[in-house]
Amino acid sequence: MLPFKPDFHCHTTLSDGSLTPKELIERAVQFEVTHLAITDHDSTKGYEQAVPFAEKTNVELISGTEISCQWQKHTIHIVGLQMDIANQQLQAGLEQNCQIRIERAQAIDEKAKPRFGSLLEKIKPKLKEGMIGRNHFAQELIAQGIVSDQNQAFNKYLKQGRSLYAPVVWPELTEVVKWIVEAGGIAVIAHPHIYKMTKNKLNKMIEEFKQAGGKGIEVVCQPRVCSDQIGMADRAKRHGLYASLGSDFHRPEHTWRGLGWLATMPEGVDPIWNYLKQTKGLIR
């Protein structure tokens, strides 16, 4: 049997990743990932479509999604794992977020049209049934040679304060945690180091997240141990949260991020796989 190598955060073409669910499972096999959650933005379709492919392999797949929400003017991403994806409240919530995404994409496109023509018309044929996000605009700006990479696309045009940014109001954090919990899942704060918050504010957000039923926080998000990871491990312990891990893999060209390429879980935390095994989410 392969050594335990989990990754509980990644994307496919059903959101803003570049690999199809089938290709993602093939990559998991290639890189010997043993336990995987596909967490497409505001959708469980990536997971659903990967199930038949994962069944033919030794990759153990659990259900996942990454939901956008609002906490005090901040956009926060909450990963949901091991949910009953047939849950109606969850699917209605995800549908609502996808609708917000469509409206925002139209608003971005109106801003883009005078300078670049419609970007959305070029993006649409590539989407199929996937949700739309700012990353699709980033990829289109790259394809048209307007920017050289994704970072530049965000820094020049797509991030808050730039010319193609369209404001959006996501559902409240507590509401989103409720969708996940009531669907039988575990809610996890995604990449907590990226939110531009003071330590006190982050602690306050974590407390509200816990009160709403949230139980996990991503501690390991990178291949190497870094100060963010040490800080988050400490937070997980202090707040009594399960420590999760995920690469946030989007596309093979991003060579600094690989599926399953993650530092070892630090000592002293309660790893999320303990929870997943207790609740029979993971069987191996």
Which of 150, 222, 244, 247 lies at the binding interface for ligand AMP (CB under 6 A)?
A: 150
Stated as kind and residue range, the H or E segment containing 102 is helix 88-116
Phi, psi of 203 (to 5 degrees): -60, -40
Q: Which of the stretches 150-158, 213-221, 224-232, 273-281 binds ligand AMP when contact is defined by CB under 6 A?
A: 150-158
**Residue 72 or 151: which CB sits closer to ligand AMP?**
151
Order of strands across the sheet that contains 74-81? 64-71, 74-81, 186-189, 216-220, 242-245
Which of 135, 139, 229, 247 lies at the binding interface for ligand AMP (CB under 6 A)?
A: 135
Distance CA 59, CA 47 (A): 13
Query: Quick check: 137 binds ligand AMP (CB under 6 A)?
Result: no
Tokens, residue 164: 């193609």
Q: Which residues fall within 8 angstroms of residue 251, CB to CB, at 6 or more apart? A: 17, 18, 19
Query: Quick check: 134 binds ligand AMP (CB under 6 A)?
Result: yes
47 binds, among Mn ion, ligand AMP, none (CB under 5 to 8 A by kind): none
Phi, psi of 118 (to 5 degrees): -70, 120
Query: Quick check: 16 binds Mn ion (CB under 5 A)?
Result: yes
b/e burial code for range 200-212 (CB count within 10 A of at least 16 → b): eebeebbebbbeb
Query: Quick check: 151 binds ligand AMP (CB under 6 A)?
Result: yes
DSSP assignment, residue 35? Answer: E
Comparing CA positions, the residue from 64, 74, 129, 137 lying closest to residue 98 is 129
Q: Which of the stretches 19-27, 66-74, 176-184, 226-234 binds Mn ion when contact is defined by CB under 5 A?
A: 66-74
Q: Which of the stretches 154-162, 166-174, 221-229, 247-255 binds Mn ion when contact is defined by CB under 5 A?
A: 247-255
Distance CA 2, CA 214 (A): 31
Beta bridge partners of 78: 67, 189
**Residue 14 or 282: which CB sits closer to ligand AMP?**
14
Q: Which residues fall within 8 angstroms of residue 258, CB to CB, at 6 or more apart? A: 31, 223, 247, 249
List binders of ligand AMP among 12-71 (CB under 6 A). 16, 41, 68
124 binds, among Mn ion, ligand AMP, none (CB under 5 to 8 A by kind): none
Which of 159, 162, 238, 277 lies at the binding interface for ligand AMP (CB under 6 A)?
A: 159
Which of 27, 35, 45, 77 lies at the binding interface for Mn ion (CB under 5 A)?
A: 77
- Closest separation between CB of residue 114 and ligand AMP, Å? 22
**Residue 82 or 139: which CB sits closer to ligand AMP?**
139
Write out the residues near ligand AMP by the rule CB under 6 A. Answer: 16, 41, 68, 133-135, 150-151, 154, 159, 250
Write out the residues near Mn ion by the rule CB under 5 A. Answer: 16, 66, 77, 190, 248
